[in-house]
Structure 1
Amino acid sequence: MNQTATATTLDVRVLPCEQRRELIFSTFDGLAAGGSMEIVNDHDIKPLQGVFENLVPGKFSWEYLQKGPDLWRVAITKIGAARTGGQCCGSCGGDGH
């Protein structure tokens, strides 16, 4: 994971498949409102967009930065406070209840 002042970059190509989703959503949960992360992969992660829509509808934006054929880059930005997995991300100062 590489973090800059404006975005966190997750190169998930180096991770086993079973670890990718947990890392992506824990990183998203840690973003402040307006914060973004970039996911780098060797194939399109379009199905992940549907997972985001189910877990945090209206709380993220999805932008392709690069569309293959060998490298895919997607920027995901948190819009307002968001929760995933029923846990508060903490960006609103709430306690999750």
Structure 2
Amino acid sequence: MENSNILNATLLEPRIKHATIFARYDALQPGEHFILHNDHDPKPLYYQLIQLRGDVFIWEYLEQGPEWFKIKITKK
């Protein structure tokens, strides 16, 4: 797995976190993915992504806490 496919949300300032994640998603081509690393379950982000982009992605937990959450987000 390449490091460029990893987005560590814990390193982002809270005010730019969601915008940065959305920008990373929007830059994907269909079939491409990135891995989101976070220190809590980003379920609200999932619902925001569904609301703003629709059912156009696959959200796959690779690790579900309690300390770290890793989610593979693939553009359909």
* Deviation for aligned residue 1:15: 1.3
Distance 1:75 1:31 in 2: 13
1:24 matched to 2:14: no
- Point out 4+ residue stretches in structure 1 off by more than 6 angstroms: none
Please give the alpha-carbon distance, in whole angstroms, between the structure 1 residues aligned to 2:49 and 2:9. 17
> Which residue of structure 2 lines up, in the alignment, with residue 14 of structure 1?
11
Return 5+ residue gaps in structure 2 as ranges.
none
Matched, 1:49 2:51: no
Tell me which protein shows more helix as a share of its residues.
2
TM-score by length of 2: 0.92
Question: Which residue type is aligned with residue 19 of structure 2?
Answer: E
**Normalising by structure 1, what TM-score?**
0.73
Using the TM superposition, give the Cα deviation of residue 66 of structure 1 relative to its aligned residue in structure 2, in angstroms: 0.2
Three-state SS of the structure 2 residue aligned to 1:44 is coil
Q: What CA distance in whole angstroms lies between the structure 2 residues aligned with 1:19 and 1:9?
A: 17
Report which structure shows greater RCO (CA 8 Å, sep ≥6): 2
Looking at structure 1, the residues matched to 16 and 55 of structure 2 have their Cα atoms a distance apart, in angstroms, of 25
CA distance in 1 between partners of 2:48 and 2:7 (Å):
17
- 1:78 counterpart residue number: 75
Partner of 1:86: none
List alignment gaps of at least 5 residues for structure 1.
80-97
Aligned residues: 74
User: Which amino acid letter does the alignment assign opposite residue 67 of structure 2?
Assistant: D
RMSD over aligned Cα, in angstroms?
0.8
Mark the structure with the bigger radius of gyration. 1
